[in-house]
Every structure is written in structure tokens, then in C-alpha cells.
Amino acid sequence: MSTLTMDTRCEALFVSNLQSSQHPAAPAVRAAVRRTLQNLGVNDCAARVAQEFGDHPETAVLRMRWAREAIQEAYARQ
């Protein structure tokens, strides 16, 4: 899983059950990404992100911003 791009990780976190309000630590973010990719795969994650941006663009932007920040922090230390 170390060859995944930042975008792929962001998409997986975006569609995961993890919430920004939980203020998850890096291990929880990495676990959510791993679990989501195992359950859905890369293509389904991307499709779900696209659907959310189409259906709820105002909230999708905020969630993706959080996902990008969380991924940068969670994987910066690896």
C-alpha cells in the first residue's frame, strides 16, 4: 500500500466512516484508508467521491479539505 498516491488516500479517507469531528490520530487515519481500500477498491472510492461532489458540493469540499490535511499529517511521518 506504500505505492498509493496522496489523491487515492484522500479519496479513501473521504469515503470512509471516519469523521473530522473525531479528531483522529495518524494511526486511525491510516487504518481507515487501509480498511476502505480493502473494502471498496480504488475505483469505487473515486466514484463515490465524484457522486458526493455532484450531490453535495458544499459539504464535499469541506470534507475533502479535511481529508487532504489529515492524509498529509498521517503519512508525513512515515
Domain contains 1: no
Domain-embedded: residue 67: yes
The domain containing residue 11 runs over which residues? 6-76
In a domain, 55, yes or no: yes
Q: What is the dihedral of CA 74, 47, 62, 15, to 10 degrees?
A: -50
Looking at residue 4, what is its pLDDT?
87
Q: Could you tell me the pLDDT band of residue 1, with boundaries at 50, 70 and 90?
A: very low
Considering the domain boundaries, does residue 30 fall inside one? yes
Q: What is the pLDDT of residue 13?
A: 98
Give me the helices (H) in the chain, please: 6-15, 26-55, 57-76
Are 6 and 52 in contact, with CB atoms under 8 Å apart?
no
Total-model pTM: 0.92
